[in-house]
C-alpha cells in the first residue's frame, strides 16, 4: 500500500523522464524535417531547455511531496545535476547509438540551462519559507 502511495507522487516525473528518453532516442530519419517553428530562432534549443526545466520541476515536486519537512536545497541541487548528466548522456547516446543523430554541444548547453531554470523555479515554488 505504501509503495502505491509513493508511486503516485513520482509517476509524473517518471513518465516525463521516460518520454524524454524516447523522444531523444528517435532515429534522425524518423524526425520531421527542420522547419522554422513559428520563426523562433534556435527553437530546438528552447524546446531542449523547456523539456529539462520540466524534468527538474517534476522531480523536485515529487521530492517535496515525499518529504515536505526536510531541507530541500541540497536535494533540488542534486536533481538539477542529475538532469544535466542525463542531458549530456542522451547526447552521447544519440552520437553513438541512434542512427542519423549527432552530438550537439549546444543541446547540452540548452539542457543544462533548462535544468538551472527548473532549479530556480523549484526553489521559489516548492521550498518551505
Does 82 map to a domain?
yes
Question: 548522456: which residue's cell?
Answer: 89
- Distant-in-sequence, close-in-space partners of 38: CB < 8 Å, separation ≥ 6: none
Phi and psi based region of residue 128 (left: phi greater than 0; alpha: psi -120 to 50; beta: remaining): beta
Does 37 map to a domain?
no
Residues of the domain holding 113: 42-129
| The Cα angle at residue 108 between residues 13 and 27, in degrees rounded to 5 | 75
| SS3 of residue 36 by DSSP | coil
| Extended strands (E) in 16-114 | none
Does 84 map to a domain?
yes
Does 60 map to a domain?
yes
Q: Give yes or no for a contact between 52 and 83, defined as CB atoms under 8 angstroms apart.
A: yes
- One digit per residue, the tens of pLDDT, for the chain of length 129 reads 566 666 778 999 999 999 999 999 999 776 666 555 556 666 889 999 999 999 999 999 999 887 776 788 999 999 999 999 999 999 999 999 999 889 999 999 999 999 999 999 999 999 765
The pTM for the full model equals: 0.88
User: What is the DSSP-derived secondary structure letter of residue 34?
Assistant: P
Q: How many domains does the chain have?
A: 1
Does 14 map to a domain?
no
Does 24 map to a domain?
no
| The Cα angle at residue 54 between residues 95 and 9, in degrees rounded to 5 | 115
Does 27 map to a domain?
no
Does 74 map to a domain?
yes
Amino acid at each position: 500500500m505504501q509503495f502505491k502511495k509513493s508511486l503516485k507522487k513520482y509517476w509524473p516525473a517518471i513518465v516525463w523522464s521516460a518520454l524524454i528518453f524516447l523522444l531523444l532516442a528517435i532515429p534522425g530519419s524518423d524526425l520531421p524535417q527542420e522547419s522554422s517553428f513559428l520563426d523562433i530562432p534556435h527553437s530546438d534549443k528552447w524546446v531542449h531547455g523547456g523539456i529539462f526545466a520540466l524534468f527538474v520541476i517534476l522531480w523536485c515536486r515529487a521530492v517535496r511531496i515525499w518529504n515536505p519537512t526536510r531541507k530541500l536545497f541540497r536535494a533540488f541541487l542534486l536533481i538539477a545535476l542529475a538532469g544535466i548528466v542525463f542531458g549530456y548522456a542522451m547526447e552521447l547516446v544519440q552520437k553513438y547509438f541512434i542512427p542519423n543523430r549527432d552530438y550537439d554541444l549546444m543541446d547540452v548547453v540548452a539542457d543544462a540551462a533548462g535544468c538551472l531554470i527548473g532549479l530556480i523555479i523549484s526553489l521559489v515554488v516548492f521550498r518551505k519559507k
